[in-house]
Structure 1
Amino acid sequence: MKATWNGVVIAESDDTVLLEGNHYFPEASLKREYTSFSNHRSSCPWKGQARWLSLFVNGEMLNDAVWYYPEPTDAAQEIAGRMAFGQGVTVA
């Protein structure tokens, strides 16, 4: 699987976890040179609190495009150490 945005591969791995329609990539597969800090947080009743990152590629910013659960609940341990993508990032 590849996650791409603005013509650049952001993450690539054959080891993703599909959960609620989202592919969670291993954290190590994320190309950190394309990420930027975000203050955004969200909460899921069964997965826990998510933190977000923005993407900065070819001079363009995509806010809050990557999320992860730094301390997922026991029920969501399969996504520990993994990141998912949204908001216009193509995963295929």
Structure 2
Amino acid sequence: MKAIWNNAVLAESDDTVVVENNHYFPADSLNREYFEDSIAGTTCPWKGRASYYSVRVDGELNKDAAWYYPEPKEAAQQIKGRVAFWKGVQVTS
């Protein structure tokens, strides 16, 4: 699987975990040059507190386009250390 935005490959792995129709990529599969920490956060009742990354490619910013759960709840342990995407990031095989 590949996560692509603005013609850049943000992440690539054949080891994704699908939860709620989102592919969670291993953190070590990210091309870190495109990622910036975000102050955004949300809470999911069964997964826990999510943190976000913004993505910057060729000077264009996609704010809060990736999220992860630093300490997922017990029911979501399979996504610990993984990152998912939205906001126009294409996830394709």
TM tier, smaller: over 0.9
Corresponding position of 2:53? 53
Moved over 3 A (4+): none
Partner of 1:79: 79
Q: Considering only aligned residues, what root-mean-square deviation do their CA atoms show, in Å?
A: 0.4
Unaligned runs of 5+ in 2: none
3-state DSSP class of the match of 1:78?
helix
Identity of aligned residues (%): 59
Unaligned runs of 5+ in 1: none
Deviation at 1:36, TM superposition (A): 1.1
Length-normalised TM-score, structure 1:
0.99
Matches within 5 A, 1:1-92: 1-92=1-92
Tell me the TM-score normalised to structure 2 length.
Answer: 0.98
